[in-house]
Amino acid sequence: MSVVTILTDDNQGKPLRFPSTVAFDPEQEEIYVINGGKTGFVIYDNDFIPHLFLGAGRGIDSPHSVFFDTREGNIFVCQGKSADHPPRLTILNGAFFPVKEILFDTIPEAENFSPFRGALGKTGNIYLVDNNIRGVLVLDRDGNFLRWLKPKDKILRKIVRETADKNSPTEKEALETPSPSEPSPETALLDLPPELRPKARVRVAESSGGPASEPITITDIMTDSDGHLFFLSEETSKVYVYATNEEFLFSFGEKGGSTGKMSRPRGIAINEGRKIIYIVDYMRHTILAYDLAGKYLYEFGGRGSGPLWFNFPNSITVDRKGRLIVADLFNNRVQILKTEFDMTFTGSKGLKTGTPPAAPADTPQTVTPAAGSPNLPPPGASTPEAIRSPANNFDLETGAIPDRQNGAPR
């Protein structure tokens, strides 16, 4: 890994304070950052210049996250309860003018729902999660209730607590460390070579049932260009993968505090070009990488304040060039990183369905890592200078927007 730049200033030239959430708008190539203590988003352009602030002037007063509709140019903002408004999903057009608000008080089982993360599916359905409510709320493109998706799994900490009095220490440890299982038949749809299909650490979450399985809370959600849904649970430290038709495919991940395991995963991002899933672990201060079948590849980071080190990272996204954008919460910065790790699997199609093109018989698989340790900056690297704000910033609270005036689409 290497550092592209580090963002430390907001649109007014003041230091960032506890940036908690990052998102990338692929249409405009802009980075959205929720800056702690401010009820809105600092927006950076594709040169990493903080040129806008999206806040109360556009109906944004308690944002949790943002996601985008690249087909119609709309912006979806998940908002919590504020002094003047209930929890809601605010929809803005490409000129940042509010066009609709979706409330949840009349939706079954959603009376206390406060959207924390969201994503737009390939079918146009809206998927929302509240990390205090179990399941995923599914709405149609107009905001009408469709159903709940409720991934189920075993909550290990509950099992340990309930059986602590009757199990020996050895048995208790076994409960905390699930045994590997064979992949489910559905994984045959992945069109992956056998060596990449999920094996260890991949367990079907909804097939076993039983009293130990129950709906889980989801922390973050992503979709890919083929319409697959990826639900990340901090509670179980696993990712649950669904097809476009919302059919469960498989899950992967393992809870723990050592290499290859997730302690408190907070954010998920997908680099479709490299076919890699990145997960940011809040407690281990690391970023873990998996292939699209859920196989663990590598991780980097650790607690520290230098480049490529983190202090409770809380959110992650990927831009159009495949660069990682990480909210480095208690380092008061956003790190922009790129990977030098090159990995090619001949004939692999990831999660896509259909028959992949045949590869030449004499074409070997190649895995070419960058020189040096993935956990440390390259020799001689220095901390990039922070991007400073220009003098002619625009603020949506008070001023006009040069390329978004009069409600014109972007």
H/E stretch holding 172: helix 169-176
d(C-alpha 243, C-alpha 351), whole Å: 9
* 22-72 pLDDT, tens digit each: 999 999 999 999 988 778 999 999 999 999 999 999 999 999 999 999 899
What residue type is assigned to position 277 of the chain? I
d(C-alpha 288, C-alpha 261), whole Å: 8
Tell me which DSSP letter residue 398 carries.
T
pLDDT at 390: 36
C-alpha distances (whole Å) from 139 to each of 102, 148, 343, 395 are 10, 9, 37, 32
> What are the residue ranges spanned by the domains of the chain?
2-405
* 297-312 pLDDT, tens digit each: 999 999 999 999 999 9
Beta bridge partners of 53: 42
**Tokens found for residue 303:** 């607690």
pLDDT at 38: 74
d(C-alpha 352, C-alpha 274), whole Å: 14
b/e map 240-276, b = 16+ CB within 10 Å: bbbbbebebbbbbbbbeeeeebbbbbbbbbbbeebbb
pLDDT at 20: 95
| Dihedral sign (CA 107, 108, 114, 115) | negative
In sequence order, what E strands does 136-193 have?
Answer: 136-139, 145-149, 152-154
d(C-alpha 54, C-alpha 156), whole Å: 41
d(C-alpha 276, C-alpha 293), whole Å: 9
Tell me which DSSP letter residue 310 carries.
B
Share of the chain above pLDDT 90, in %: 65
pLDDT at 389: 35
3-class SS at 31?
strand
> Is CATH 2.120.10.30 the classification given to domain 2-405?
yes
Residue ranges, the chain, pLDDT below 50 = 159-168, 170-211, 346-350, 352-410
Q: Give burial (CB, 10 Å; 0-12/13-18/19+) of 186.
A: middle
